Amino acid sequence: MTNNQKLKVLVAILFVLIIVLVGLLIYATTVYKPETPASDTASVTSAVSSVSEQSPGGNTGEAEENVELELYNYSAEDYNSPKEIVKVSVSRKLYEEDITAAINKVLETTGLSIAKAVLDGDFITVDLTKEVAARFNAGSAGGITNTNILAMTVLNLPKVEKLEITVEGEHNVEGDHFSFNGIFTKSADGRKYQFAMTDTQGKAIDF
């Protein structure tokens, strides 16, 4: 075999080897595809869900509706006109479902509180404990100012026109410096209430 023939054979062998190598490379890149680990995918999904839940647009709740009530504060300097009228914002749901709690929220800065309130149409009955009623009997000034605070605050609740005050369920209670023996009525001109005494003998209680 001449040198020229040997060279042709070597070239042919090299050509075949190159074709085989190229084929192997194509096969390897086609078969082997790197996959994202399942745990990483789960982490990404969890993170996206977390952000979605915290998004401001995800909050579909509505703002709670409030009702503006009024606290009428009186002092011994003027029994006929309030010293100040304080606006107190109370949840409308609370006012409609638990009027006793709503009234106590309005009164919480006065030292007064009620045990129970029952609203029947425009007539409301407010019940006091003996301990609270005793505050009305602490001198004439205390009796008048506390009566003014309670009566005017309650009578200026929405749709309330008349008020009766009881003490631990007892009607027509009287003390040395106060009288609940009657009905408090809202004044037509918006000024101080009117008090109509009953013909019934007042009941005294032991404080």
Of the candidates 119, 141, 117, the residue with the CA atom closest to the CA atom of residue 128: 117
User: Is residue 45 domain-shared with residue 96, that is, in the same domain?
Assistant: no
* pLDDT tens readout for residues 165-191: 999 999 999 999 999 999 999 998 878
User: Is residue 96 domain-shared with residue 23, that is, in the same domain?
Assistant: no
User: Is residue 155 domain-shared with residue 95, that is, in the same domain?
Assistant: yes
How many folded domains does the chain comprise? 2
E strands of 8-108, at which residues?
66-73, 84-91
Q: What is the rounded radius of gyration, in angstroms, for the C-alpha atoms of the chain?
A: 43
User: Is residue 125 domain-shared with residue 46, that is, in the same domain?
Assistant: no
pTM: 0.69
* pLDDT tens readout for residues 60-110: 445 689 999 999 999 999 999 999 999 999 999 999 999 999 999 999 999
